[in-house]
A and B are shown apart, each in its own frame.
Chain A
Amino acid sequence: MATASIKVSETPLVLYTLRRADDALILGHRLSEWCGHAPMLEEDMALANMGLDLLGQARELYSYAAKVEAKGNDEDKFAYLRDVRQYRNLLLLEQPNGDFARTMVRQFFYSVFADLYWRAMMKSDDPTLAAIAAKSEKESAYHVRHCSEWIVRLGDGTEESHRRVQTAIDDLWAFTGEMFAVDDSERGLIDAGIATDPAGLRTQWLKTVSDVVDEATLALPKNDWMQQGGRSGHHSEHLGHLLSELQSLQRTFPGATW
């Protein structure tokens, strides 16, 4: 690692924006890992397209965080020059792709949340976040539709596809609680009308997820124990490996451009 990590002044709004930017970047990177490996050409394009949407959202959010922080950081520095403990994404999104069913379940859990979240954020009193939300909610709607269709097709498909998608649901379920968690720094932004309270999205999220899972002849786990940590930088072992690939060029050749 040739280049030192940057320092970030994590005021509540900077931290809030970085958390959402990290969600988009990390999930977008995971989807990009499928490029050239998807089960068929149309799906290869779909995964790359969804990854591109997320990368675009990440760029806008990082740029806004940099503007608010006003310490000379920019989107590239946030993405390439923060260490694993400085990343603030949801644990769900850094989980490895696994098989296609696991990738679809991860996308499904997150996209249903993101669609509700961005729609609520269109009413934010922060005009930049509201504008990013207005763009992102349309993209999320496509993602929800795409992965919902796959959950049904896989769940109500063959014995093997059913088993694989059910295993993925069981394994990833414990990471879904973190989407609805709020800490003190976010509570202040919610009270100020800048952030939306994710707790208010949970009922609708569960309803949409349950409807699709039912149609797919699958079942949600009864266990409600939830794992958290990503928002405060306590990640699973997978994120470090992801970042070593994502950051290798900038860490090896600092400031490289093309």
Chain B
Amino acid sequence: MVTALANDNDLRQRAWDAAAQVVDPEIPVLTIADLGVLRDVQVHDGRIEVAITPTYSGCPAMNMITLEIELALERAGFARPTVRTILSPAWTTDWMSEGGRNKLREYGIAPPQASSSRRALFGEQQVACPQCGSTNTEVLSEFGSTSCKALWRCKSCREPFDYFKCH
């Protein structure tokens, strides 16, 4: 019994490591672990079940992410893994890791503000330009190239940039 449990823990860790490598197809610098989309990995009779949570209701990347997780686990030697979606508690940008926020910034996307309060939802926000760091920025459009991003412009360096919206 003890051996079986230890074995399960080992399997679980290996499965987690494999699943955690999957990247968001729309923001390929972020893994699903960075995003906080990867919620849980469980072992049932040697079979792996991964739980993920959707970022935005209509995020078209979720189907792709599910497929990528299954492929990653099969490549790591796990037969017929399953991926389950959990809705509660609802994902928020607060779950994005600090490493994830830094990777976003380096990629040229301004990371979401730390706390997704309703104040941020209602536009009282100061977003730093990911290129030059200036906070002299303005919003061009609340809705950007994907459902998770808005379009902003830096008034100091004049570069337009994507901002990962607070949710």
Interface residues of A (CB under 8 A from B): 42, 45-46, 48-50, 52-57, 59-60, 127-128, 130-132, 134-136, 138-139, 141-142, 145-146
Known contacts A131-B90, A134-B90, A142-B142; 4 additional CB pairs below 8 A are A52-B60, A57-B58, A135-B57, A145-B142
Does the CB pair B56–A135 fall under 8 Å?
Answer: yes
With a CB–CB cut-off of 8 A, which chain B residues contact A48?
143
With contacts A53-B57, A53-B58 taken as known, whether A146 is within 8 angstroms of B90 at the C-beta atoms is no
Kindly count the residue-residue contacts between A and B in the assembled complex, taking CB atoms under 8 Å apart. 75
Does the CB pair A42–B87 fall under 8 Å?
Answer: no
Q: Interface residue count for B (Cβ, 8 Å)?
A: 26
The 4 closest A-B pairs by CB, nearest first: A56-B58, A56-B57, A131-B88, A131-B87
Q: Give bound CA distance, A56 to B63, whole Å.
A: 12
Q: Does B147 contact A (CB under 8 A)?
A: yes
Residue of B nearest to A64 (CB): B87
Q: Which label, helix, strand, loop or mixed, suits the secondary structure of the A interface?
A: helix
Of B13-21, B30-38, B118-126, which binds chain A?
Answer: B118-126
B104 to chain A, nearest CB (A): 19
Q: Give bound CA distance, A57 to B59, whole Å.
A: 10
B92 to chain A, nearest CB (A): 8
Does the CB pair A141–B89 fall under 8 Å?
Answer: no
With contacts A42-B141, A131-B87, A131-B88 taken as known, whether A141 is within 8 angstroms of B58 at the C-beta atoms is no
Q: Which label, helix, strand, loop or mixed, suits the secondary structure of the B interface?
A: loop
Does the CB pair A49–B143 fall under 8 Å?
Answer: yes
With contacts A42-B151, A134-B89, A142-B142 taken as known, whether A57 is within 8 angstroms of B122 at the C-beta atoms is no
With a CB–CB cut-off of 8 A, which chain B residues contact A138?
116, 121, 167
Does the CB pair A54–B143 fall under 8 Å?
Answer: no
Q: Does B144 contact A (CB under 8 A)?
A: yes
Does the CB pair A142–B54 fall under 8 Å?
Answer: no
Does the CB pair B57–A46 fall under 8 Å?
Answer: no
Chain B positions 17-71 with a Cβ under 8 Å from a chain A Cβ:
54, 56-60
B88 to chain A, nearest CB (A): 3
Identify 6 residue pairs between A and B in the complex whose beta-carbon atoms are under 8 Å apart, listed by A's number.
A53-B56, A57-B57, A60-B57, A131-B87, A131-B89, A141-B118
With a CB–CB cut-off of 8 A, which chain A residues contact B88?
127-128, 130-131, 134
A103 to chain B, nearest CB (A): 15
Q: Give bound CA distance, A215 to B16, whole Å.
A: 53
A147 to chain B, nearest CB (A): 11
